[in-house]
Amino acid sequence: MISYILRRTFAAVILLLVVSAVTFAIFFLLPRLVGQTADQLAQQYIGKSPSKADIAAVKHNLGLDQPVYVQYWHFIKGIVAGADYNLGPTTVHCDAPCFGYSFKDHVAVWPQLTSRLPVTLSLAVGAAVMWLVSGVVVGVISALKPRSVFDRTFMGVALAGVSLPMFFTGSLAILLFTYQWPIFGRTYVPFTDNPAQWANTLFPAWCSLALLYSAIYARLTRSGMLETMNEDFIRTARAKGLPERNVVVRHGLRAALTPIITVFGMDLGLLLGGAVITESVFSLHGIGEYAVQGITDNDLPKILGVTLLAAFFVVIANLVVDVLYAAADPRVRLS
């Protein structure tokens, strides 16, 4: 088990390196291949009508005049060992892990990411708990009474939930519950400051996001349960004289839940890399919003930082899911 986790962690580091190289190549190498020069790149970050000397200085300070692989090396080295940046009058040291400075607002990327992470984390985890619980409960009841009124109603709602875009449900939730009837707060409050206020503000965002996902989870659970409840071991459980509730929960749900946990881990991992649309709709200053800034400004360090962080979460989620799976299903051996 331990050696398995160590090996997987090592593989994860390699994978993250590859992801960083590919991302780096997309944003630094591709533009050059299609003819963009370092001068033009540098010019983007200075603003209107820069002088030749300005361009040269920026180019040199940001290292844009060096070959791409050297730039990549500096980037990776910065993450591991920190780096020094010449920002004109002074040189600043950027502690490891250093993801560089934003080209645009000249703020270090890593502290920005860490300060925004709690927001994204709050949004993702809160919504995840909601959608997992509601999706599984609805799915189980639907599976136990297939084609009943409950089943048809909730599967209809689920279909709507999947189809409705966040722009719509999110905006509607804000309009109704923070403006029309101001039940919920408007500005994010950190959990550590005031948990009640934190939950209160995030609630509409959780619901909107959870609606999207719980629809999928309800359907997954329903089909999984329908299949499981026809298994032979369910008949055995009944033949033992177990009360039906125990048959459903201990034998049926236990088996049906395992694949759902897998999907859940992946979804949560993806979401931790930034719920771009939800954060934008609810004006939450999280990773997703940071990514949007980076992309609109063509701010490469931001984009790189977010991409690597997102990749990190996905890789970690993958690892956790695999370990959990082995814990849940004794037939799976980690090797």
Partner 1 sequence: MTELSQTGAAVGEPTTGAAPDAFLEVRDLKVHFPTDDGVVKSVDGLSFSLEKGRTLAIVGESGSGKSVTSQAIMGLHRLGTRGKNVRMSGEIWLDGKELVSAAPDEVRKLRGREMAMIFQDPLSAMHPYYKVGDQIVEAYRVHHKVGRKEARKRAVEMLDRVGIPEPAKRVDSYPHEFSGGMRQRAMIAMALVNNPELLIADEPTTALDVTVQAQILDLIRDLQKEFGSAVIMITHDLGVVAEIADEVLVMYGGRCVERGPAAEVFETPQHPYTWGLLGSMPRIDRETSERLIPVKGQPPSLINVPSGCAFHPRCPYADIPKGNVTRTVRPELEQVGTGHWSACHLSAEDRTRIWTEEIAPKL
Strand ranges for 191-242 from DSSP E: none
Considering the complex, state which of residue 205 and residue 257 has its C-beta at the smaller distance from partner 1.
257
Interface residues toward partner 1, by CB under 8 A: 143-146, 226, 229-244, 247, 251, 254-255, 258, 328-331
Strand ranges for the chain from DSSP E: 83-86, 91-94
Q: Are 98 and 83 in contact (CB under 8 A)?
A: yes
Considering the complex, state which of residue 79 and residue 225 has its C-beta at the smaller distance from partner 1.
225
Considering the complex, state which of residue 145 and residue 186 has its C-beta at the smaller distance from partner 1.
145
* Rg (the chain; Cα; Å): 25
Considering the complex, state which of residue 77 and residue 235 has its C-beta at the smaller distance from partner 1.
235
Least CB distance from residue 81 to partner 1, whole Å? 47
List the one residue out of 144, 126, 119 whose CA is nearest residue 287. 119
Least CB distance from residue 137 to partner 1, whole Å? 17
Least CB distance from residue 196 to partner 1, whole Å? 39
SS3 94: strand
Least CB distance from residue 107 to partner 1, whole Å? 50
Considering the complex, state which of residue 256 and residue 276 has its C-beta at the smaller distance from partner 1.
256
3-state secondary structure 113-163: HHHHHHHHHHHHHHHHHHHHHHHHHHHHHHHHCCCCHHHHHHHHHHHHHHH
Considering the complex, state which of residue 141 and residue 209 has its C-beta at the smaller distance from partner 1.
141
Least CB distance from residue 151 to partner 1, whole Å? 10
The Cα-based distances of 292 to 146, 270, 287 in angstroms read 43, 16, 9
SS3 93: strand
The Cα-based distances of 183 to 118, 119, 166, 178, 199 in angstroms read 23, 20, 20, 6, 12
Considering the complex, state which of residue 35 and residue 330 has its C-beta at the smaller distance from partner 1.
330
What does the alpha-carbon distance between residue 195 and residue 120 come to, in Å, rounded to a whole number? 16
Q: Are 197 and 184 in contact (CB under 8 A)?
A: no
Q: Which two tokens stand for residue 238?
A: 């009944």
Least CB distance from residue 236 to partner 1, whole Å? 5
Least CB distance from residue 243 to partner 1, whole Å? 7
